[in-house]
């Protein structure tokens, strides 16, 4: 692991947080984003020890990051584990630097990489290769039995904290969500499915396994998984369901503005099938009903979040709910 001088450390934090940088260092910034974490992609960095290293990806603690369970300390812990399965290790960007309090992390960057969400959102060429890669990576992660000396964090049930959807709310509705339920006539099938989902924290999981956190490096056609700050012992069904749900959201959102809607949905079903086939070929313990149940939950929760920002449901909101109904029992 590299060590940094105080001025270089401050400069990299500034680049991640849209702050003050050394003269000339800001010219290498490809993009910057703020939020729970502040991140930036650099095409290069002109100062030691990163001069000539190539692209860098920066992640700094953001102002919105106040909960301990979403801090960078958990991501630091993941990188410190020594027995990570090879398929998972090869899909994780190498870490160059992390400070003791885990407020700045510097990874190898990929100048020609985009998230799968951005690629599909722009309607770029869609490929099934990412589904195969992610099926193998997630299966290897969920099959992994860490060293007994490693104490891993426990992943909390996100269905109780993200969106706060309960069976009672599905039956009775609450606020604008009630309007959505009435508008799309949510089915007893979904109500039954969500009531039967029970959190089973029995495997190592990513915790936030969605296509926003999947990078595709176009130059090498490689797939990488980022943002491990929620990793720990959790429910593998949530990992798989989140990936499928987020994939559905991205493709359906693109299809709403595309002339090739049928083509987009056909690709989506093929992508889901390819992912699940790859996952099952590497992991015998695979409960498809629970995976698709969590995928449906992810979609309904996403529709609720998006509706909260508007007055009436959009066509995409309706599509999300109807697609959630269709994938239950697939």
Domain limits of the chain? Answer: 6-108, 113-327
Judge if the upstream peptide bond of residue 327 is cis by omega within 30 degrees of 0.
no
CA distances from 39 to 12, 29, 104, 288 (A): 10, 11, 10, 35
pLDDT in tens, 231-257: 999 999 999 999 999 999 888 877 655
Task: Report the 10 Å Cβ neighbour count for 315.
Answer: 11
pLDDT in tens, 127-157: 889 999 999 999 999 999 988 667 899 988 8
pLDDT in tens, 162-192: 444 455 554 554 444 555 555 445 566 777 7
Return d(Cα 296, Cα 290) in angstroms, integer.
10
Beta strands in 184-263 (DSSP E): 203-205, 214-217, 222-225, 232-234
Give 130-173 as a DSSP string: HHHHHHHHHHHHHH----TT--PPBPP-GGGTSS---HHHHHH-
Residue with structure tokens 């398929």? 87
Is it the case that residue 201 has pLDDT exceeding 80? yes
Q: What is the DSSP letter of 124?
A: P
Is it the case that residue 309 has pLDDT exceeding 80? no
CA distances from 98 to 16, 140, 176, 178 (A): 14, 26, 43, 45
Instruction: Report the sign of the C-alpha dihedral through residues 131, 133, 139, 141, in that order.
Output: negative
Give mean pLDDT, residues 308-312.
68
Return d(Cα 231, Cα 97) in angstroms, integer.
19
Judge whether 299 and 193 are in contact, CB under 8 Å.
no
Give the CATH fold of the 6-108 domain.
Phosphorylase Kinase; domain 1 (3.30.200)
Overall CATH class of domain 113-327: alpha beta
pLDDT of residue 252: 82
Question: Under DSSP, is residue 232 helix (H, G, I), strand (E, B) or coil?
Answer: strand
Is it the case that residue 60 has pLDDT exceeding 80? yes
Judge whether 17 and 6 are in contact, CB under 8 Å.
no
CA distances from 209 to 179, 238, 263 (A): 29, 8, 25
Is it the case that residue 74 has pLDDT exceeding 50? yes
Residue with structure tokens 């770029």? 124
pLDDT in tens, 6-26: 999 999 988 888 755 666 677
pLDDT of residue 317: 76
Phi, psi of 174 (to 5 degrees): -155, 120
The two counts, helices (H) then strands (E), for the chain are: 12, 10
Q: What is the DSSP letter of 57?
A: E
Return d(Cα 328, Cα 291) in angstroms, integer.
9
Return d(Cα 213, Cα 31) in angstroms, integer.
16
């Amino acid at each position: 692991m590299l060590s940094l001088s105080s001025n270089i450390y401050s400069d990299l934090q500034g680049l991640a947080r849209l702050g003050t940088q050394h003269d000339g260092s800001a010219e290498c910034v490809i993009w910057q984003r703020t939020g729970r974490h502040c991140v930036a992609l650099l095409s290069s960095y002109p100062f030691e020890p990163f001069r000539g290293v190539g692209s860098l990806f920066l992640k700094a603690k953001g102002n919105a990051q106040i909960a301990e369970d979403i801090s960078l300390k958990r991501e630091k812990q993941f990188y410190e584990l020594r027995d990570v399965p090879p398929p998972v290790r090869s899909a994780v960007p190498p870490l160059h630097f992390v400070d003791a309090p885990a407020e700045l992390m510097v990874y190898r960057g990929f100048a020609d990489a985009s998230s799968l969400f951005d690629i599909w959102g722009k309607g770029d060429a869609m490929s099934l290769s990412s589904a195969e890669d992610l099926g193998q990576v997630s299966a290897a992660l969920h099959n992994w039995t860490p060293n007994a000396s490693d104490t891993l964090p426990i992943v909390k049930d996100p269905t109780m904290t993200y969106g706060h959807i309960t069976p009672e709310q599905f039956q009775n509705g609450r606020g604008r969500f009630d309007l959505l339920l009435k508008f799309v006539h949510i089915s007893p099938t979904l109500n039954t499915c969500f009531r039967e989902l029970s959190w089973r924290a029995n495997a190592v999981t990513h915790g936030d396994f969605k296509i926003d956190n999947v990078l595709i490096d176009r130059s090498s056609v490689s797939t990488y998984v980022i943002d491990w700050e929620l990793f720990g012992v959790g429910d593998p069904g949530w990992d798989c369901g989140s990936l499928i749900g987020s994939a559905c959201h991205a493709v359906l959102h693109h299809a709403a503005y595309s002339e090739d809607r049928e083509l987009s949905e056909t690709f989506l079903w093929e992508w889901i099938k390819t992912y699940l086939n790859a996952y099952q070929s590497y992991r015998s313990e695979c409960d498809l009903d629970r995976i698709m149940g969590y995928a449906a939950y992810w979609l309904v929760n996403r529709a609720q979040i998006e509706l909260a920002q508007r007055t009436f449901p959009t066509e995409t909101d309706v599509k999300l709910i109807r697609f959630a109904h269709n994938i239950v029992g697939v």
